[in-house]
Structure 1
Amino acid sequence: MVLRKVKEASYLTAENYFRYRAILRFFYTQHERMREFIFPGEVFLSLKEVEGFSEYTEDQLQLDLNQLVEWGNLSPKQEIGSARTIDEYKKKRFRYQPTPYTIEFERLLMEMENKEESFGGALERTQFERLYRLIQDVEEVVFGQTKKQDEEVNQLWEDVQTYFKQIVQNTSDYIAYINSEAVEERMQTEAFLLYKDQFTKYLREFIRAMQSTSEQIKSVLAELPEGKLYPFFEQVWRHKAQARLEEVDVTNERRPLEEYTGRWQSMQQWFRGTQSYGKSEAEMLLDRTSESIRKITQVVQRMGERHQNFRSRREEYLYLANWFTQLENIEEAHKLFATAFGVEHTRHYYLQNTRSENLYEEEWSHTPQIHITKPGVRQYREKTKSGAVVDQTLKRKAAREEYLKEKANERKAIEQYIVNQSIELEKLEKVEPSVRHIFLSWIGKAMGQKDRTIQTDLGIRVKVLLKDERIILRSYDGDLEMPNVTFKIVEEKGKKGHGA
C-alpha cells in the first residue's frame, strides 16, 4: 500500500477555495450529464451567474484553471483544428476534463451537503432477507448447482456488496441516531409518549426478523469459506478485466482476488464474529436494539412516576388514615406504617451504572465497590496530572482469555447434560441459571430456522424438537414453566457429535 500526499484535495482548503469549488462543481455537474470536455468560455458564462463573481474576469479564470491542472483536478486537451480566430490559435485553445479524484470528491461533497446534520439510517428487515437470497445464489454457483456467465456472476457479486454495505451503513447510522443527544432530549418530552408504541413496535419487529434471517445467513456463510470462492471471484475478475483497454499486469492479477476475499471475510466477521473479539456485529446490533427498547421503557416509566408525583393523593391518604383508625393496637400500626412508608431512616448507596455487559448477572455476584466521597464545597477542585497513553495489550489479552475460559466453562456445563447425543429438559432435575439462559437462546434462534437446526456459539450443531406438553424447568434461582424441548446434537460434516 502506497500512501501519498493527496494534492487533488488542495482546492478545498486553498485561499481562493470559493472560486475553485465553483469551477469544479460546474465540471462535476456537466460530468453527470455525460459531457466530459468543457471549454473555458462555458465555465466563465456559468460563473457569471453565481453570486460573488460579478467582477470575475477571463484572465482570472485561466489562472484558476492552470492551478487546478497543476493540482491534478483537471486534464487539458488542446483543440488544434477548431480555432476560429488568430487570437484563439495563438492562445492554444484548450478543453478541460475533470479527473477521477475530482469527481469522487465532488460526489462525496454533494452527498454530504444533501444530508441532514443528524444521523439517518434505518433498520430495514427486507435488506437482510434480500442479502440472504443473494448469498444462497452465491452458494449455488460455488457448488455447481447453477451455471452462470461471467457477467451474471459479476452482477451477483455487486448486488451482495451493495446490500451488505447498505445494511452496515443504515444500521450503524440508526444506532447512532437513537443514541444521539437530540433523540435523548426528545424522549424527555410529553410528545414522545404519542410515538413510543410505534417506535417500540418498529424495533421489536426488526429484532424478530433479524434473529431469524441472520441465523440463516450465518448457516450459509459457514459453508462458504473464502477458499471455496476463488473460482467465483475469478469469474468476477475476468468480467471486470474485459472493460479495461490497457494490458493487465500479471503481477497484479492476485490483487483483485485479495480484495474480494477481504470483503467476503468482512461479511463473515460481521455476521459470525471472530475468536479474537467474541460477539459478531450482528449480535451486538441486536443487543443495542434491545437496549434501546429498555431505555424507552425506563423513560416512559419515569415520566409516569413524574405524573404520579403531581397528582393529588388526598383520597389515598384519607383511605390510609381510616385504615389506621381501625387497627386494634400500636404494633399493628407500626407494621402498617412500615409497609406504607418503608424504613424511616434510609441510607443511599452509590453504584457504578454498568459493571458488566451480562444482562442476567446479579449485583450480589460482584465484588464490593469502593466509592470516594468528594467534599461538597464550591472551593474543592480535584488534582489533575498529565495522562499517558497506556498499552492495553495485556488487558485485551486477559479479556480474550477470560472470554474463552467462560465459553469453555459453558461447554463443560452443557456437556454434562448430554445423554445419547441429546438433552431432554423433562429429565433434568435442576440446572444452573447460566445453562437455562443458553437453552432459551437456542430455542429463540431455532425458531427462525425451517428445520429448527442451529450452529451454537459452543461449536456444536443442535436440532430443537418441540413437544406439545409443558414442563417445569427447575433452577437454583427459581422455576420456569415452558414447552417440553429436546435438543438433538447433530453430527457435523467431517466431525462426530459430542456425547456424554
Structure 2
Amino acid sequence: MDQSILKPIVEATYLTTENAWRYRAILRYFYEQHEKMRQYLFPEEVFAHLKEYEPFRDYTLEMLTSDLEQLVKWKNLIARQETGKVRTIEEFKKKRFRYQCSPYTVEIERMVNSLEKMGDSFGGSLEKTLFDRLYESIKKVFELIKQSKLQMTSDEECYRMWEDIFDYFKKIIQNSADYIAYLNSENIEERMMTEAFLAYKDALTKYLRDFIISLQKTSLQIELLLEDMTPNMVQPFVTKVVHYKQNIPRLEDIAQTTDDLIKDHFETWWSLKEWFLGRNGNESELSMLQNKTNETIRRMTRFAQRLGERHHNFRSRKKDYLHLAEWFSRMDDVKDAHKLSATVFGVFHTKHLFADIKSTEDIYRDIWEEAPTELTIKPRVRHYREKTKPSALQDHKLEKEMMMNQYLQEKEKEQEMIRQYMNGNKIVFRELPTIDANIRKTLLSWLGKAMANKDYTAKIETGKKIKVKKVDDSTITLRSEDGVLQMPNFEIHFT
C-alpha cells in the first residue's frame, strides 16, 4: 500500500474547521481568479471582494491577514513577498505579500464546485454514442498494430489515442453508474408512484432501450477487438505512450522508472479488458450494467402498470353496468341469463373449487373438461376419531436373540484382536502395527474416556478398569486401514 494514502490531507482542513465560512469564501475567490488566469492576488483586492457581502460587514484587514497566514500553514495558499515596487524602507519591513492558491486547493475547490451544482441527486447519463466512439478509438489502435504502421506513428499521436480510449471508458463507467444510481434512488422511486410518472414513462423507457440496443450492438465488436489484442501486440503501443509522457518537460524528479510506468499502463489496459470480458470466468461489468438497465426497465413498467390499475379502479363503471343490464333484458331464457351471470360475476352457489394434479399444461383447457376429483369429507367434530382395526401383536423374540448373539460374537472377536495387541497388561500405541478401523475407534474411545477424568482412569465395556499414561512429549504415528493418525505417545494400562 502506498504510504501517502495513510497520511491526513491537511489542505482539506479549511472545509470543516471552526471558521470554515471565512476560509471557504477566501479560497473560492482565489479559485475563481485562477480560472480567469490570474495567479497572484494581493490581500487588498481579496478584502475588497469580501466586503461586498453582508456576512463580512465586520470583517477587518487584520482578520484577513490572520486567515491568509493560516491558509498558508495548511498549504492552501503559497505566499510570495513583493519586492518589485517598494517605495519606502517601512513598506519593505512590512513584507508585503501576494498569494497564489496551491494545486491541491484548485482541485479541491473544483470538486466542491461540481458537488454544489450536482445537488442531492445523482447525475450521469446513458450515452449510446460513447460505445461507438470507444470502439472507433480501439479499432484505430488495432489497425495500426495489425498493419505494422505503429513505428511510423509519432509518440504524441499514440498518446492522444490512449487518452481518447480511456476518456471514453471513464465517461461510460462514471455516467452509467451515476445514472443507474439516480434511477434507483429513493426520491425517484417516490416520484414513480405519482401519476406524473406516466407522462415520462415512454420517453424514459425508449431512452433506456436505445442504450441497450447500442450497447449490445457495439460491445460485441469491442470484445472481439480486445480478445485479439494480445499483450505482445499492445506492448509497443504502451511503450510509445510512456515514452511521450516521459518526454514532457517537468522540473520535479519523476520517482517512477520506465518499467514501473509501463506496468501501470498495462494494469490500466487490463482493467479495460476485464470490464468488457470479465475475469477468471466471472461475469463482466458490462453484463452487470446490461442486467441493471434491463431490471430498471422492468421496474418502471411494473410501476406504470400499478398506476394504470389504480387509475382504472377509480374509473366509473356506470356505462359497463348499463350495458350488462341491457344485455340481461334482451334474454328470453333464464338459463342463458344464469350462464351470463356466472361468466360476468362468477358462480354464486360454489364457495371453493378444488382440483387434483393437472392432467395437462394446456392453458386453454376449461375446468369442466378435467376429470372430477373425489374427496372424502371428515366431520368437523372435536371427538371424532377414524376407525382402526385392532392388529395382533407380533413376537420378535427370535430376531432379538439372533441380533444379540451376532453383537456378542462381534464384541468377542474385537476383544480377541485387542488381546493380540497387548504387551503384558498394557497396550503401547508406539508398538502397534496397522490395525483395523473398528479397533482404532475402540482404543481411541477408551483413551478419550480416561482422559476426561482427573486421574486418567476409566471403566470400559468389559468391566475392566484402565489407566492412561503419557510416556513423553514425542509424537507417534498410529496406522489403521482407513488412514494415519499423528498422536502423543500414550499407553493404556489394565488395572
**TM bucket, shorter chain:** 0.5 to 0.7
Q: Confirm whether residue 285 of structure 1 aligns to residue 292 of structure 2.
A: no
Out of 235, 252, 268, the position equivalent to 2:257 is 252
Q: Confirm whether residue 152 of structure 1 aligns to residue 154 of structure 2.
A: no
> What is residue 406 of structure 2 aligned with on the other side?
none
Q: What displacement does 1:225 show?
A: 4.1
> What is residue 25 of structure 2 aligned with on the other side?
22
Residues in 1 aligned to 2:353 and 2:52: alpha-carbon distance in whole angstroms: 74
Residues in 2 aligned to 1:132 and 1:98: alpha-carbon distance in whole angstroms: 40
SS, match of residue 118 in structure 1: coil
Residues in 2 aligned to 1:181 and 1:52: alpha-carbon distance in whole angstroms: 36
Q: Which amino acid aligns with 2:263?
A: E
Q: Confirm whether residue 299 of structure 1 aligns to residue 306 of structure 2.
A: no
- Structure of greater Rg: 2
For structure 1, which runs of at least 5 residues remain unmatched after alignment? 348-500
Contact 1:141/1:232 (8 A) holds in 2:
no
Q: Confirm whether residue 45 of structure 1 aligns to residue 48 of structure 2.
A: yes
> What is residue 91 of structure 2 aligned with on the other side?
88
Q: Which amino acid aligns with 1:137?
A: K
Aligned counterparts, 1:54-453, within 5 A: 54-143=57-146, 144-146=148-150, 147-246=152-251, 248-249=253-254, 252-275=257-280, 278-310=282-314, 311-312=316-317, 313-315=320-322, 318=325, 326=333, 328=335, 336=343, 344=351
Residues in 2 aligned to 1:341 and 1:111: alpha-carbon distance in whole angstroms: 66
Contact 2:134/2:168 (8 A) holds in 1:
yes
Residues in 2 aligned to 1:179 and 1:40: alpha-carbon distance in whole angstroms: 47
Residues in 1 aligned to 2:258 and 2:348: alpha-carbon distance in whole angstroms: 78
Q: What displacement does 1:299 show?
A: 2.2
Residues in 2 aligned to 1:187 and 1:272: alpha-carbon distance in whole angstroms: 34
Contact 2:122/2:178 (8 A) holds in 1:
yes
Q: What displacement does 1:118 show?
A: 1.6
> What is residue 7 of structure 1 aligned with on the other side?
10
SS, match of residue 100 in structure 2: strand
Q: What displacement does 1:283 show?
A: 1.4
SS, match of residue 52 in structure 1: helix
Contact 2:124/2:176 (8 A) holds in 1:
yes
Residues in 1 aligned to 2:82 and 2:144: alpha-carbon distance in whole angstroms: 50
Q: TM-score, normalised by structure 1?
A: 0.63
Residue by residue, what CA displacement relative to the aligned partner does 1:438-491 show, whole Å, maximum 9, x if unpaired? xxxxxxxxxxxxxxxxxxxxxxxxxxxxxxxxxxxxxxxxxxxxxxxxxxxxxx
Indicate the percent of aligned positions where both proteins have the same amino acid.
44
SS, match of residue 231 in structure 1: helix
SS, match of residue 98 in structure 2: strand
Residues in 2 aligned to 1:319 and 1:288: alpha-carbon distance in whole angstroms: 51
Contact 2:10/2:74 (8 A) holds in 1:
yes
Out of 33, 38, 41, the position equivalent to 2:36 is 33
Q: What displacement does 1:217 show?
A: 0.8
Contact 2:47/2:64 (8 A) holds in 1:
yes
Q: Measured at CA, do residues 77 and 141 of structure 1 come closer, stay the same or move farther in structure 2, by a change above 3 Å?
A: farther
For structure 2, which runs of at least 5 residues remain unmatched after alignment? 355-495
Contact 2:130/2:172 (8 A) holds in 1:
yes
SS, match of residue 246 in structure 1: coil
Residues in 2 aligned to 1:86 and 1:340: alpha-carbon distance in whole angstroms: 109
Q: What displacement does 1:249 show?
A: 4.7
Residues in 2 aligned to 1:316 and 1:22: alpha-carbon distance in whole angstroms: 72
Q: What displacement does 1:90 show?
A: 0.3
> What is residue 389 of structure 2 aligned with on the other side?
none
Contact 1:74/1:99 (8 A) holds in 2:
yes
Q: What displacement does 1:125 show?
A: 0.9
Q: Measured at CA, do residues 287 and 68 of structure 1 come closer, stay the same or move farther in structure 2, by a change above 3 Å?
A: same
Q: What displacement does 1:246 show?
A: 3.3
Residues in 2 aligned to 1:191 and 1:252: alpha-carbon distance in whole angstroms: 59
SS, match of residue 208 in structure 1: helix
Contact 1:123/1:170 (8 A) holds in 2:
yes
Q: What displacement does 1:319 show?
A: 7.0
Residue by residue, what CA displacement relative to the aligned partner does 1:189-220 show, whole Å, maximum 9, x if unpaired? 22222222222222212111110001111111
> What is residue 418 of structure 2 aligned with on the other side?
none
Residues in 2 aligned to 1:182 and 1:69: alpha-carbon distance in whole angstroms: 42
Q: What displacement does 1:339 show?
A: 6.0
Contact 2:42/2:97 (8 A) holds in 1:
yes
Q: What displacement does 1:331 show?
A: 10
Residue by residue, what CA displacement relative to the aligned partner does 1:29-57 show, whole Å, maximum 9, x if unpaired? 12112222222222222222233222222
Q: Measured at CA, do residues 319 and 165 of structure 1 come closer, stay the same or move farther in structure 2, by a change above 3 Å?
A: farther
Residue by residue, what CA displacement relative to the aligned partner does 1:407-459 show, whole Å, maximum 9, x if unpaired? xxxxxxxxxxxxxxxxxxxxxxxxxxxxxxxxxxxxxxxxxxxxxxxxxxxxx
Q: Which amino acid aligns with 1:286?
A: Q
Residues in 1 aligned to 2:187 and 2:123: alpha-carbon distance in whole angstroms: 12
